[in-house]
Chain A
Amino acid sequence: YDDQEMTAKVEVIMREWISLCYSPTGQRSPQESLAQMIQLMHEHGVLATDDKITQFFRLCVENCVDISVRVMKSEQIANGLPTNLIRHRCYYTLDAFVKLMALMIRHSDNGQSQNKINLLKKLLNIIVGVLHMDHEVRKTDFNAMPYHRILISLFNEITGPDPLKLLEPIAWSILEAFGQTFFALQPRRMPGFAFAWLDIVGHRNVIGRLLANTGIAETVDSVKTAATYTQLIISHLKFLAPFLRNIQLPKSIAILYKGTLRVLLVILHDFPELLCEFHYVICDTIPPNCVQLRNLILSAFPHEMRLPDPFALNFKQVDTIPEMAVEPKSNLNMATIIPDNIRVPLDEYLANRTPVDFLPRLPTLLQTPNQSGTKYNTTVMNALVLYVGIRAIENLHLRRQRISTLSIAHTSFMDIFQNLAIQLDTEGRYLLFNGIANQLRYPNAHTHYFSCVFLYLFKNSTNDTIQEQITRILFERLVALRPHPWGLLITFIELIKNPTYNFWRYEFTSCAPEIQRLFQNVANTCV
């Protein structure tokens, strides 16, 4: 409950602060103004206890939000006023409140960095709490703007250039606190805040400070900030996934999806290493039918790498590219991504090809009864593919063999792929080949190995269905609009160019005139 007395104090203090904050002295010497405000707060006893402080700031947030919502409502009534004029009136109050919080965080308890970060976390928790309550209670009337402005302005203020190095000692704690706040506000939890959320997470300053170490992030470990940012992207893709999976694109989802593509394109362009390193977990979140979105992630390659022209190579030359023997950088703990009930017998089989009944049982082990819409556990399927591939590459290195369609043959590792390709039904095989195609990226050992797996399976399967389905998987990724991963291109080019695979002999390449034309077009482009 809120006592009227505290509400009254909040209004007095906020009114006093707003006039002080925009006054010339307030602009010129913010610290003095802050000192005056702290004095006033003490006189009103709003800083007396931890609870009082919490209650005071919660009421401040509610007060600012109410003022903004009322002003914007007047916009709807007095329609004549241009939106940005109304917006500026809202910003006037919101920005003053943000300035007060930022000054208190920056100058509280000089030297005691821990107090600064404690105050920041308290304020962020209060904002999240009020936002969540508002989102649940106001529902149709919920307006994200006030919270959107408070959060992004506070982020800009606190993480911006810090010439006095006041916040440098707690720079990572500050970024982590904001990362946790944005994660707590993710669209799956607050869909009504989703547009504001993506605007914040996709803001140039958030990207810059979490991924380019600008502002206070200069001295922060970029591995940690990249992981924080990736977690936010994954949480967002998990929200979009069901709607994209069903190609259910009402206007709101279409706008959100397009905005997501923009943000991911900026990441692909400026920070490709993030997508290289986290491609596995990100692609695991993307529905199998989101071909272009997945291609975008898989097209990333390390900035210093120069991609060989896929159209100018033949596969023999591809085999000799030095990077094709190098394991890609990854932070995955492979042992943990497969459930033990599969990994233990799998390890046993890979080592000794026993028990013989492991292969026939494997398709069932990959099924999941409860996941709606599919009978297979795609996460486990993807993990199995990558795990077997990594172990196969290790084994080749042990035997000092290069990766090639010959060296990968007749091994326990290839048994897994071959048997699954034969035993799985259409849906299962689609997911299996998807998992393999998700490894066709820039020149590295995984791209090399899995490209050879596809080529080997294509050549050695006795059943045209498998050749056709491999072709489908590659083709649907090629006919999608750009970008296309390098590994995908070299695999398909090899398939259609090298007579060993007899690609054009298969009936499915000419099953319909338009298909034949399409294949020819892609072949002409590739060759």
Chain B
Amino acid sequence: LGYDLTTLGLSLNTQDRKLHRSFGGPWADSPIRAHELDVKVPDEYLTH
């Protein structure tokens, strides 16, 4: 039942308490990257 918890794709050494903001979910092997993370942007930025 032992896992090396440092190999689960979470950067556990970051100081800020924001790991959950880029957490890809229980099955993700790496955090969500900035270009995948939907955030609220000004309407004018929705150029498409």
Contact = CB atoms under 8 A, between A and B. Distances in A.
Contacts, number: 85
Interface string B2-33: 11111011101010011111111111100010
Nearest to B18: A270
Interface size class of A (residues with CB under 8 A): 35 or more
Nearest to A292: B2
Given A247-B1, A259-B27, A292-B1, A265 B10 contact: yes
B2 A480 contact: yes
Interface in A234-271: 244, 247, 249, 255, 257-263, 265-266, 269-271
Best-buried of B5, B9, B22 by chain A (most CB within 10 Å)? B5
A293 interface: yes
Contact of A481 (B2, B20, B25): B2
Interface stretch (A74-82, A129-137, A200-208): A200-208
B40 interface: yes
A296 B26 contact: no
A406 B21 CA distance: 48
Main secondary structure, interface of B, reads loop
Nearest to A479: B2
Contacts of B8: 258, 261-262, 265
Contacts of A195: 27
Contacts of A263: 26
A310 interface: no
Interface residues of B, number: 25
A289 B1 CA distance: 9
B3 A260 contact: no
Nearest to A156: B38
Contact of B19 (A255, A269, A293): A269
Contacts of B32: 204
A261 B2 contact: no
A244 B1 contact: yes
B10 A262 contact: yes
B20 A266 contact: yes
Best-buried of A208, A269, A482 by chain B (most CB within 10 Å)? A269
12 contacts: A207-B20, A207-B23, A249-B1, A255-B27, A261-B3, A261-B5, A261-B8, A262-B8, A270-B20, A293-B1, A481-B4, A482-B6
